[in-house]
Structure formats: C-alpha cells, structure tokens
Structure 1
Amino acid sequence: MTATFSPFQDYSAYTPADYAVWQKLTARQLTTLSDYACEEYNDCVKALHPVISPEQPPRFDELNEQLKAAYGWSIKVVPGFLPVDEFFGLLANKRFCSSTWLRTEKQLDYIEEPDMFHDIFGHIPLYLNADYASFAQKLGALGVKYHDDEEKITQLQRLYWFTIEFGVIRQHGELKVYGAGICSSYGEVLHVFNDSKVEVVPFDLDAVLQQDFIISEVQNKYFAINDFSELWAVVDELGARWS
C-alpha cells in the first residue's frame, strides 16, 4: 500500500504484500510478547481478537466500536507525525492518531516513522485498560493546558516517551514491557532483555522529566513502574504541581 494520505482507512487498497507483512509482523510479535509483555497488554490484545490478528490488517471501524464501548476512545487517521499541540489535543479528546500505510517486506525490523503496525498493534490495545486510558487522556489535557509553555511541553514529551512509547513494568518480580515502541518491535524487545548496556531503574517522576531522549537512537535507559495505577497518579501529581 502506498503512503498517499487519506483521512479515512481505504481497506480495499491493501495489497497481498500488505497482508503478508501484517501477518509476519503480528504472528512474530504475538509469540514474542506472550513471554515479555505485561499481563494488561496481552489481555487487551486477546480482547481485540479477531480484529487484531495475523489473518488480515485490522479494520479501524471495528476497532473503534470496541474502543468507544470501553472508555470512549477512537482512532484518528493522520499522515504521519503531528505538531505537538495537535497531538496532545487529540489525546485530551480520547483520540489516538494512526497511519494507515504499512511498511514493506524489507522494512520488517526498522522504519523511520510510525506505520500502522506500530500505531495499531503497539498502541491501541492498552486503550482497553482503564488506568492506561485515563493516563493518556490526562496527559493530553495537560499538554493542551500548557501548550504555550515550552519547558512543560518538553517534560510532558519525556513522560510520554518513557511510558507510552518505551514503558516497562515489574510484575511478579519480573520485568515486562508495555510501551508501544517496544511492543511493536521484535528488535526492541530483544534489546531490552538481552543488551548489557540497558539500564532499568525504578520510575521516578522527577528523573523522567529531566531525562533527554533522541528519537532516532536505540533506548538504553528505562523507568519501571510497579502498577498501571501509578501512571494516572503521576499525571495528577504533575497537574497539582503546576496548578
């Protein structure tokens, strides 16, 4: 499927090559994440079956039905990266943005910008989790409220990066992943659990807000929460500090 933008998902445009790519990516990640993803992520993926499955790319209208029925979320089709204020505005209104194009066979392990597999398989499942969905909406609302404060927006981007994109959690004494940047990437999963350079530290709000990141470089530091309820509590704490 080409990257030509449409504000709607044109399901008829997906080619046999797209189906093959989706099948390979989804089957591989489902197998890998059964051991490495947190319970909440795996439970949500199961709840979205068969809309999300290796058999075919997901239909956004079917995903929206389940998302709206759970906590009022829906998918907003976008051409790619959005301005920060627009992105936070969508989150505040319980809308998560997604591309509709898929990477090629040659890009199975790396793409420069998010495609549908990253956006849907990586991000969407956890919007069926109450704590996570609340966290994302509250984070977006803070972004809207402080859109003209560059320092606060930078801190919110860091919080987003080390939770929604590259979040990890400890469950039953074991490290598990939940961030979309990890859950949608076979290489990132292996990196987290097998690279000796990786540092996992307890989640600390102040440390996260001060931690820089480079979007184009592999992540080597992760902040581990112990429970998903920590996430919305963190946003509430931040909102109280800034009010």
Structure 2
Amino acid sequence: MLTETIIEGKTPPPAGAAADWTIPQHWERFTAEDHRVWDTLFARQQELLQERAVSDFFKGLDVLHLSRPGIPELDELNERLFARTGWTIVSVPGLVPDDIFFEHLSKRRFPAGNFIRAADSLDYIEQPDVFHDVFGHVPMLAQHDVADFMQAMGAEGLAAMRAGALHRLARLYWYSVEFGLAREDGETRIYGAGLLSSFGESHFSLESDVPRRPFNIPEVLRTRYRSDAFQHGYFVIPSFDALLKLLTDANLAALYEELEGLPDLNIDRSDG
C-alpha cells in the first residue's frame, strides 16, 4: 500500500533481505495464534462482503482456499495464482521503497508483509500486514483485467518517479487498487483491497453519505486522500476492462504537466 510519502534515492534493504527487499516466508515460524487471527479475519470478512464486494472477488477467492487453514503458504498460493494470471506474491519485511514496490508490480509480483496483526488489533493496523496484502489483493489479481492493470501501474509508477510526479500516481493507485468501488448489476460494490480487508470501511464506503464520484483520471490525479482515517469519498469505475482502458489510453506524462500548478482537490468539496 502506498502513502503520499515519497522515498528519495535508494534505501538499502534491511538485514536478511535480498536487494529487492524480498525475504523467505518461513511459514513454519507463524504461531498458532497468528493462524487463528488469519482465520478469524478471513471468516469475518468473507461473511461481511456478501452483497458488498464485486463478483470477481468471490471468483478469485478460491485461490485462498488452500489445503490447510491459517495464513497461506506462498509456494502453494503462487502455484494457483500464477496459473490464473501469471502473478506471484513475494514476502517482504514491511513497507518497501516506492521504486522497489513498482518494480515488483511491473514484473507481476506483489509484495506482502510477512507478519500479521495482533488479536487485539483486528480492526486496525498502521502498516499493511499479510491479511491485507493477501486477502485484499490476491483474489482481484486472479482477474485478468485487474492483473494487467496492476502490472501497468507498476510501469507507470516507475515513470512517475522519474517525472517527479509520484504523488499523483499514488492517488491513482489509492483510489483504484486500494479504495476503489465499481458498478455491477446496477449496484455499487467494493473491489479495492483497503476496503475488502477492512471491517469498518467496507461498511462505511457503501453506507455513509460521502460522495461516490465517477472515475475520471485527471480528477483523481488532483484529489487528496486520507491514509489515517476513512476516506471522505470514493471513485467508482464502470467495469474492470474500462479501468484498464482508461489507464492504457491515458498519457499520464502529459497530464502531469497539464496539472502542474493547479490546486489539489478534496473529494468531498468541488471547490478543492
């Protein structure tokens, strides 16, 4: 998950991590309590998301129904996910530098934090853990248009860093991959990983009176977001193939230049 904090230059990996910040999962080191937390969160969100999440989430969810309960073993998970869309999940110690993150995405690899929240922190964790990263992202990565969109976001993220426009690309990522809503069968449903993995905001995103605006890339690039609280509004896509086309058709480099000097917007106020 991105924030609007840009990591400048090269940050060396922590001890024990490879140059790309990956580490062995060491699944056997997760405790029985860790696995119970995963199972509790999984069961709770799976029930909650009925009638709230897009149908593609449930179609992709079966990649997480593995041969044993608890936190997925990535080798087994990756065998199933790679067969679907050519993506794999790699373990990392926590948040990684932006250049490392986007490089992984551009190569169809998603970094997952190799830890899980404590049992007394089920509803909130400051850094994305394995539940957010795997439960939230993997089912959607099993959908082909989303898988291609994520790889394109990786390439665009690297380009935005070179252009000094990462703060704008981060907003595009935030309002789609993490906190995106979609229209399906005449209803608004959840597809963003930050919503799929959040008990509280999965309610709030659909049931509150905050704005839910049509997804428009120039507007999204100008719109601030919250990383410390529920969003003040959301953007809604018509479909995943439409989202992919919006990105592939957009000239983001030109948009960055056009938007230079324009004020940022707040999604809950049209005046910015």
Alignment match of 1:117 (pick from 131, 134, 154)? 131
Partner of 1:133: 147
Would you say the 8 A contact 2:87–2:109 is kept in 1?
Answer: yes
Q: Which moved more, 1:36-45 or 1:69-78?
A: 69-78
Would you say the 8 A contact 2:212–2:235 is kept in 1?
Answer: yes
Q: Which moved more, 1:102-111 or 1:7-16?
A: 7-16
Partner of 2:219: 207
- Distance apart, 1:240 and its partner CA: 6.9
CA deviation string 1:41-78 (max 9, x = no partner): 111103x142298x321111111111221221111211
Alignment match of 2:191 (pick from 173, 178, 181)? 178
Letter in 2 for 1:227: S
Would you say the 8 A contact 2:181–2:190 is kept in 1?
Answer: yes
Distance 1:52 1:142, change over 3 A: farther
Partner of 2:57: 41
Unpaired stretches in structure 1, ≥5 consecutive residues:
none
Structure 1 CA distance for aligned equivalents of residues 143 and 196 of structure 2: 16
Partner of 1:225: 237
- Distance apart, 1:163 and its partner CA: 0.4
Structure 2 CA distance for aligned equivalents of residues 183 and 239 of structure 1: 30
Partner of 1:163: 176
Structure 1 CA distance for aligned equivalents of residues 245 and 86 of structure 2: 20
Would you say the 8 A contact 2:86–2:108 is kept in 1?
Answer: yes
Bigger radius of gyration = 2
What percent identity do the matched residue pairs reach? Answer: 36
Alignment match of 1:236 (pick from 228, 239, 248)? 248
Secondary structure of the 1:224 match is strand
Letter in 2 for 1:208: V
CA deviation string 1:150-202 (max 9, x = no partner): 22x22211110000000000111111000000000111111112323x21111
Would you say the 8 A contact 1:5–1:79 is kept in 2?
Answer: no
Count matched residues: 236
Alignment match of 1:189 (pick from 191, 202, 217)? 202
Structure 1 CA distance for aligned equivalents of residues 107 and 201 of structure 2: 30
TM-score by length of 2: 0.82
- Distance apart, 1:214 and its partner CA: 2.6
CA deviation string 1:23-55 (max 9, x = no partner): 110000010112100011111103x142298x3
* 1:71 to 2:85 alignment: yes
CA deviation string 1:118-175 (max 9, x = no partner): 0000011111111000001011112223422122x22211110000000000111111
Would you say the 8 A contact 2:175–2:235 is kept in 1?
Answer: yes
Mapping of 1:72-87 within 5 angstroms? 72-87=86-101
Distance 1:52 1:213, change over 3 A: farther
Alignment match of 1:20 (pick from 22, 26, 36)? 36
Would you say the 8 A contact 1:202–1:224 is kept in 2?
Answer: yes
Distance 1:240 1:116, change over 3 A: closer
Unpaired stretches in structure 2, ≥5 consecutive residues:
1-14, 18-22, 256-272
Secondary structure of the 1:35 match is coil
